[in-house]
Amino acid sequence: METLSRDFIARAEEALAQPERAANREALGVFMPELRRAAVEELGGRESFEAHREHLRQVREHSLANLAHYLGEFVDRARDNGALVHFAANADELNDRVIAICREEKARLIAKGKSMITEETALNAALEDEGFEVCETDLGEYIIQRAGETPSHIVGPALHKPVEEIRELFLREHDLGERELSSAADMVAEAREVLREKFLAADVGIIGSNALIAESGYSMLVTNEGNGDLCANLPSTLIICTSIDRVLPRSADAMAMLRLLVRSTTGQPVTCYTSFYGAPRREGDIDGPLRLHFVLLDNGRSDILDSDYREMLQCVRCGACLNHCPVYVSAGGHAYGWVYPGPMGSILTPLLTSLDEASPLPDACTACGRCEEVCPAAIPIPDLLRDLRVEKFEARITPARWRLGLRLHGWLCRHPRLYRLFTGLAVGLMHRVGRRAGTLRRWPLAAGWLEARDLPVPAQARTFLQSYRGPAS
Amino acid sequence: MGSPDSIAGQADKAPIRVALFVSCLADSFRPGVAAASVSLLQRAGCDVVVPRAQTCCGQPGYNGGDRSGAAASARAVIRSFETFPHVVLPSGSCAGMLKHHYPRLLDGAWRARAEALAGRVHELTSFLDGVLGWTPPRSETAQEFAYHDSCAGLRELGIRDQPRRLLEAAGHRVRDIEGSEVCCGFGGTFCARMPSISARMSDDKLAAAQRSGADTLLGGDLGCLLSLAGRARRRDLPLRFRHVAEVLAEDMDAPAIGEGGA
Amino acid sequence: MANANGPGGEPEQDSERNVMARLRGIAAASAHADAREALDRIPPVNDSMRAAAQPPEISERFLARAQKNGFSTERVHNRSEVVRAVSAYVSGRQSQRRFVAGHDARLAALPWRNEGLLPRFGCASADDLISVSYARCGLAETGSVCLWVDRDNPASNNLLCDAQLIIVDRGDLLERLDEIWDEGVWHGSGKSGPGRGKTPPRGVMMISGPSSTADIAMQLVYGAHGPRAVHLLLLDPEGVSGLGAE
């Protein structure tokens, strides 16, 4: 997928100017933290949550430290189970592999469950270029596919769509005659009918995976709609597209992850469907795919594993950091300009594309720490964002005036006498100019601050250190 | 209501030696906050020292990617403050910087020195309430306030109840504001790099503060207060902003933050 | 896919070799000599849920959770009551007496004709309105039921109908999520499930409520793609005189 992350600020301003498209997001920013908080209470409160996430963190850390071992084990088990396993070093290889399978199957229609990996590789466009019909079946993904848009949230892709837009979209896209479609329930019922036909007619199903379990060769799929399960069971071929970092050693580890994943995502203790698929149809089975393929994508993940950002691979894609991020809630998912928005996206995007292309994202953070506090995998998100800023600074991607400003400030801070002299002069001047009004609306070098707010004037003509006469060391 | 490891009892015996890290924002923009901090600590039985060599804790460089500059600032702060048994700051984010981020920023012997210092660093209200177990006298002019929890104080240092306890002991009423755990949009240089997003966050916070019914918003971090006051003044909102230390020290002569007439 | 795992030298084989070699190279620094042994050293979560069988009794906790998940539930005490309950449910939703059920021996053994019910044993199609399934186990932790996906339990029967009835035995209730992978449950020994030796099923479905979505303006709507309603029958022979009896 094309990266538009460089325009983060402009895209965020666009989003801020569209309040009707922000309504769902703002509600999410209020309700999801409440639902999550209730779910944590139900789990036994904060201490219990901390115990669970420390366990999950250790398991994820261990899985990644031994990734070659567990991925190898998974591949062996999956092949023992009769699945076909393919590796893709990059996006093109994944798309080419899927296209080759679909050609081999002489497929016409492909039913797709939600998969961020295939968003990352822009698989739909690649398949459509080859003449295949691709139908997204997660309701949110279906809506944005029909609308020609991209996901704005990793869990709720159509979060930005107001009900009225979806109603108009369905009336336009579904040739079903005169009808009201006055409620969300009506629209869900209509999509159910339309998509049911697709499930029944599809030749290939493509889904993602929430975890690959090394000891059994199963893939875990977590959904509320059941669309992924229909994709996994009705078409004669199933392709599970996922990435190499999704491996967990044991079934019990998947359950430990599930416990925190769903609570962090929706506040439920568990989703309606949690399924484990590992094999094609067995002898005597009366349904299920005849062929099951896994396509395992690297696309930069081994580079992350080999970097100081390895902890980012612990991410379980729950979306809690988005729901709790005031920058995400203000700016919206599309502002981030690629597949993964919010705090996790601000780390993944520069790592999976390039720091240059995604340069504003590490700065899209106030270091408020709420993401880290709720992250079920205990990823130190603000620290990793800070590390990316260091790389930006050192690679001179940070604008020169900022680098110069920070360098000068740092230098001045290390020369206390000069610092006192300089701040004393500046404070005196500001105080004289602005003391009557209390704030300034113009001041050199303060353009960024002054764009949206006044600058409060120093309350006194001298700094504290200039005027204090008490004991000093 | 001191914590179990409170050293309140020692107050009668020997003064507690405390170094005040003023914080650069208090030093330049709100000297009254530093004066109030000195006064509160003295009233609580401390022997307060203000090391002259102090400037800024290094957060702008640390958060802005200038790691080597930030590390140099950290070393300078450690050198100036490590000889004191207690280091107190009227700022959650600066205290969090010294306590949690210096060790991460430095290596080797400097990291060990940073860690040794970290255990002795306290934010002002948590020091007065938790460590000293100090209770302010009843105020003659009890008021109602809304309180803004700064992110660093809340999440890095667990500061929430301490300022409220002190204010209530003085007879003030403290109103919570909705979404009190959500960032106000300051974020250091964030508010200057991404002003439109920052303004949006500030507006949410200001609206919540106004809904609380109180006309003054208090906080323990001048960064948040200066940026909120600046936004409120830009929008002509009838809200006032003060640092909690000024209220506790009953040092309310200066105009509120961002207000004129001095 | 004849060529998928075909002879070496294909680009795909190179990718597998390259990625795995890269991972092995990276892992050299961090990997444990004996990964599983290191894994076993990670302490389990020590929390209140581990404390076994707090009151109320497991079946009450299971049903309470299941209801929160959006299941309707009913406690039945013998096989005749199961059939009566299915009959009442079927009558409440459609005029015909038909439903679809997998080849599970426990389903085949129920006295359907007593109530004039007409089960069709096999795989659900798009025309079936109601399916009846027998769960492998139920989970008190989450109020979920687990069904193995195998010859006796086609996945389609969990997905294609408007409504589903799922029977679960009181003796098959488990406390915690992890227990569904325990040896006894997995291979069917010691439990009422029809164990089929050591071959794992091609899939396992854990169902925790009717299909739902909140993708339109965050409003919760049931019946997204799968069943709009799921009715759980807890078969509890001992519950007749027990405290949990209705």
- Asked if B29 contacts B255 with a C-beta cutoff of 8 angstroms, the reply is no
B1–A contact, CB cutoff 8 A: no
pTM score, two decimals?
0.94
Prior bond to C56 cis, omega within 30? yes
Query: pLDDT exceeding 70 applies to what percent of chain A?
Result: 100
Question: Which of A18, A418, A463, A465 to mutate: most B Cβ within 10 Å?
Answer: A465
Of A372, A463, A468, the CB nearest to B28: A463
Residue in C with minimal Cα distance to A166: C216
Q: What is the pLDDT of residues A19-40, one digit of tens each?
A: 999 999 999 999 999 999 999 9
Nearest to A118 by CA among A339, A289, A320: A339
Min Cα separation A308/chain B (Å): 14
Q: Which residues of A touch B198 (CB under 8 A)?
A: 366, 452
Q: Place C94 in a pLDDT band, splitting at 50, 70 and 90.
A: confident
Sequence-distant (≥ 6) Cβ neighbours of residue B207 within 8 angstroms: none
CA distance readout (Å), A242 to A348, C31, C56? 16, 23, 41
- Asked if B183 contacts B224 with a C-beta cutoff of 8 angstroms, the reply is no
Q: Which two tokens stand for residue C111?
A: 């006295």
Tokens 């989703």 correspond to A271
SS3 call for A283: coil
Min Cα separation C201/chain A (Å): 8
A106–C contact, CB cutoff 8 A: no
Sequence-distant (≥ 6) Cβ neighbours of residue A277 within 8 angstroms: A218, A219, A221, A232, A238, A240, A292, C149, C202, C203
Tokens 């261990």 correspond to A62
Say how far apart CA A98 and CA A112 lie, in whole Å. 12
Q: What is the pLDDT of residue C30?
A: 80
Question: Which of B55, B234, B239 to mutate: most A Cβ within 10 Å?
Answer: B55
C-beta atoms of A285 and C151 within 8 A: yes
Q: Do chains A and C touch (3 or more CB pairs under 8 A)?
A: yes
pLDDT at residue B42 greater than cutoff 80: yes
Min Cα separation A319/chain B (Å): 17
CA torsion through residues C106, C109, C111, C113, sign: positive
- Asked if A352 contacts A117 with a C-beta cutoff of 8 angstroms, the reply is no
Give the phi and the psi of residue C105 in degrees, each rounded to 5. Answer: -60, -30
Of A28, A68, A199, the CB nearest to C27: A68
A 251-270 residues with CB < 8 A to C = 251-252, 255-256, 258-259, 266, 268-270
CA distance readout (Å), C225 to A184, A189, A199, C34, C66? 14, 9, 10, 44, 20
Task: Indicate the residue type of B167.
Answer: L
B32–A contact, CB cutoff 8 A: yes
Residue C122's region, left for phi above 0, alpha for psi from -120 to 50, else beta, is: left
pLDDT at residue C244 greater than cutoff 80: no
C-beta atoms of C22 and A93 within 8 A: no
pLDDT at residue C191 greater than cutoff 50: no
Q: Kindly write down the DSSP assignment for every residue of A8-47, as one continuous string.
A: HHHHHHHHHT-HHHHHHHHHHHHHHHHHHHHHHHHHT-HH
A434–C contact, CB cutoff 8 A: no
Q: What is the mean pLDDT of residues B7-17?
A: 67
Of B69, B181, B195, the CB nearest to A410: B69
Q: Which residues of B touch A413 (CB under 8 A)?
A: 24, 55-56, 58, 73, 76
**Residue B179 burial (CB count, 10 A):** 16
Q: What is the pLDDT of residue C239?
A: 64
Q: Do chains B and C touch (3 or more CB pairs under 8 A)?
A: no
Say how far apart CA A413 and CA A419 lie, in whole Å. 6
Say how far apart CA A421 and CA A427 lie, in whole Å. 10
Q: Which two tokens stand for residue B200?
A: 């949006």
pLDDT at residue C154 greater than cutoff 70: yes
C-beta atoms of C211 and A269 within 8 A: no
Q: What is the pLDDT of residues B216-227, one digit of tens each?
A: 999 999 999 999
CA angle in degrees (0–180, nearest 5) for B235-B238-B242: 105
Query: pLDDT exceeding 90 applies to what percent of chain A?
Result: 98
B58–A contact, CB cutoff 8 A: yes
Sequence-distant (≥ 6) Cβ neighbours of residue B232 within 8 angstroms: B206, B239, B241, B258
Burial of C43 (0-12, 13-18, 19+ CB in 10 A): exposed
B67–A contact, CB cutoff 8 A: yes
Q: What is the mean pLDDT of residues A369-393?
A: 98
Beta bridge partners of A109: A133
Q: How far apart are the first and last CA of chain C?
A: 56
Of C39, C44, C49, the CB nearest to A249: C39
Sequence-distant (≥ 6) Cβ neighbours of residue A428 within 8 angstroms: A461, A462
C-beta atoms of C225 and A189 within 8 A: no
Residue in C with minimal Cα distance to A251: C181
pLDDT at residue A57 greater than cutoff 50: yes
B 160-219 residues with CB < 8 A to A = 179, 181-183, 185-202, 204
C-beta atoms of A453 and B76 within 8 A: no
Q: Which two tokens stand for residue A75?
A: 């591949």
Q: What is the mean pLDDT of residues A62-86?
A: 97
Q: What is the pLDDT of residues A186-225, one digit of tens each?
A: 999 999 999 999 999 999 999 999 999 999 999 999 999 9
A25–C contact, CB cutoff 8 A: no
